[in-house]
Structure 1
């Protein structure tokens, strides 16, 4: 059965980014210095190993998500910790957007139209777990529309102060169901949640 799994890093104060200059809430900011311990690296690789496709927003793919991880895969081609980077290139990629977008990335499909229908179409097209890694506005819309089947949050032992969040006011009347919570050696707590059922809300903002 097709599922949409969102996997994101989050600060201990509930942000997925920071507007505070010099904030260091993330142990790993996706750069070359990777301080995650082996237990977190293994879990992260498992997400990609079990996935059938990757769901991307237009900003993420336009801002170089695939180029970044393609370069990382080339730099670490013999390192099993970086198997996920090569897997990103192998998996089917689906971009959901309301705007025209010329496909220029191998293995990538662009779906336009009604947001909910487009995401459902993307889920069915992959035939298995479709994973999404952001950004904040895109994931917030997915949650508001009740499209997320599982939410994986890597809770960092750092404080963002203030910044983008993925939980809006429309979710305040529901409760998430905790599926799993695993502390790790570097201080990150990996949590898995089932979001509450939602009725579609009017889509706001640019996707």
Structure 2
């Protein structure tokens, strides 16, 4: 990479994305970098999670946990173990990989198949979009503000999902493709699995 930046908080991510947009420079994010598929390789700006991204909140007696992207998967499981639970994804690198990478790669693992991969076990997410907008899907005020500011994007996604579902051959091809483990490309299965464009 030309530049490596270790980010410590969300505001820093928003600022970096603004700089990258202004200079028309691509960015790549890296959590722990344990994947062997090269997702964290960049010849531009590499944004690496700093040590501060390790917050967690155990909910519903361990049935749910909210994690910041720098939490190592095994640590999340250690927090949940006394409650008799663990996170769904179980990648081989669970002792080193971080939640940010687990989610970004739709990690699953040999034991969970697709039923408990990241895609199927996420209840909500706080994310920063490329334009710097922050969306917390568990915060009604954030969702409402996003609907107001990004209505055109949501309308386009809704239209794309409707067109996809109305094409039976395409919809079935997508459903079949994601019955198997598949972490390549975009999660096109969301177009047939959800009717709300935010989802």
Shorter-chain-normalised TM-score: which range?
under 0.3
Q: Which has the higher strand share?
A: 1
Q: Which has the higher helix share?
A: 2
Larger radius of gyration: 2
| TM-score of the superposed pair, with normalisation by structure 1 | 0.24
| TM-score of the superposed pair, with normalisation by structure 2 | 0.25
Which structure is richer in relative contact order (CA contacts within 8 A, separation 6 or more)?
1
